[in-house]
Amino acid sequence: MEELQTRELGPEDYDLLLSLEQKQSMITLHRWLFMGFEKAFKPPDAYFTYAKVYCVFCEAEIVDRQTGTQFKQCDHNIHKACLEDIFRTKNECNLCNAKILLGYQKCLTIPKMAPNKVTKRKATID
Per the structure, the count of domains in the chain is 1
Distance of alpha carbon 116 from the chain centroid? 32
pLDDT tens profile 64-119: 888 888 888 888 998 988 888 888 888 888 889 888 877 655 555 555 556 666 66
pLDDT value of residue 75: 86
Three-class SS of residue 109?
A: helix
In this structure, what are the phi and psi dihedrals at residue 122, rounded to the nearest 5 degrees? -60, -40
Q: What is the DSSP string of 45-62?
A: GGGGG-S--B-TTT--B-
**Residue 87: which domain range?**
30-125
25 inside domain: no
6 inside domain: no
Bridge partners of residue 99, in order along the sequence: 92
Sign of the alpha-carbon torsion through 100, 101, 102, 104: negative
22 inside domain: no
Q: Are 81 and 108 in contact (CB under 8 A)?
A: no
pLDDT tens profile 43-69: 888 888 888 999 999 999 999 888 888
8 inside domain: no
pLDDT value of residue 36: 78
CATH of the domain at 98: 3.30.40
9 inside domain: no
14 inside domain: no
Bridge partners of residue 69, in order along the sequence: 78
